[in-house]
């Protein structure tokens, strides 16, 4: 199932329309001073782009939940399910697509929202100190995955559209983070990770790991 609003994310239209209106008004009075607002308009269009994506892998494939760069691959404590897990983190800069997608077919078991700081999301301590929204996902064969949206230095709004009981297909769009952020995945320890630190990934098109 692919997100049915191609090209531009629905979250972006108020920003795009506002920037366009300001730029157009200023152009009619002082064209030179309107240039920064036209640049903001162009930035909003590129930031809120939301292209369709190929959904890779099979039923045990854990897909990238966001576009970006891998900044963490390690064994770590999952603070939501109180277990040891494999942690894989994707950092999104302001030039990445910011739609968040379900990493695997699953059912949402629980949802936690934690207010916090707005540190650089590339830093590891952002996982525990920044504003974040976590989902406990259970796959069709009973495996547990924790998927955490984390606000960044510029990001000031995490949008999450699902709740406990929601069934997600692999690659289904479930949220958006505005203006720079990160997504952490906590996977079962026996998962086979397919990415390395520094690798660039695309939501749903890149396989992060395979479940055993």
User: Known catalytic residues?
Assistant: 181
Interacting residues of 195 by C-beta distance below 8 A, sequence separation 6+:
70, 73, 88, 201, 206, 208, 209
Give dist(CA 105, CA 172) in Å, integer.
Answer: 9
* Strand ranges for the chain from DSSP E: 7-8, 49-50, 61-63, 68-78, 83-92, 99-101, 106-114, 132-139, 144-151, 157-160, 167-168, 173-178, 181-187, 192-193, 200-201, 207-210
Tokens 């547990």, located at residue = 144
Give dist(CA 59, CA 170) in Å, integer.
Answer: 8
Give dist(CA 212, CA 97) in Å, integer.
Answer: 30
Give dist(CA 112, CA 78) in Å, integer.
Answer: 13
Helix (H/G/I), strand (E/B), else coil: 66: coil
Give dist(CA 84, CA 77) in Å, integer.
Answer: 5
């Amino acid at each position: 199932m692919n997100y049915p609003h191609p090209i531009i994310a629905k979250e972006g239209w108020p920003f795009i329309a506002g920037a366009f209106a300001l730029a157009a008004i200023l152009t009619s009075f002082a064209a030179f001073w309107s240039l920064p607002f036209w640049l903001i308009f162009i930035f909003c269009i590129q930031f809120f782009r939301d292209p369709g994506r190929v959904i890779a892998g099979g039923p045990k494939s854990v897909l990238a939940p966001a576009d970006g760069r891998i900044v963490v691959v390690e064994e770590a404590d999952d603070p939501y399910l109180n277990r040891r897990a494999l942690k894989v983190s994707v950092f999104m800069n302001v030039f990445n697509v910011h739609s968040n997608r379900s990493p695997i077919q699953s059912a949402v078991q629980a949802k936690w929202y934690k207010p916090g700081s707005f540190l650089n999301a590339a830093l590891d301590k952002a996982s525990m100190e920044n504003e974040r929204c976590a989902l406990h996902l259970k796959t069709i064969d009973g495996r547990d995955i924790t998927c955490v949206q984390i606000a960044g230095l510029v990001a000031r709004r995490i949008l999450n559209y699902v709740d406990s009981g929601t069934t997600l297909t692999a690659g289904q769009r479930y949220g958006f983070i505005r203006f720079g952020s990160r997504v952490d995945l906590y996977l079962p320890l026996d998962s086979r990770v397919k990415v390395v630190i520094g690798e660039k990934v695309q939501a749903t098109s890149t396989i992060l790991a395979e479940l055993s």
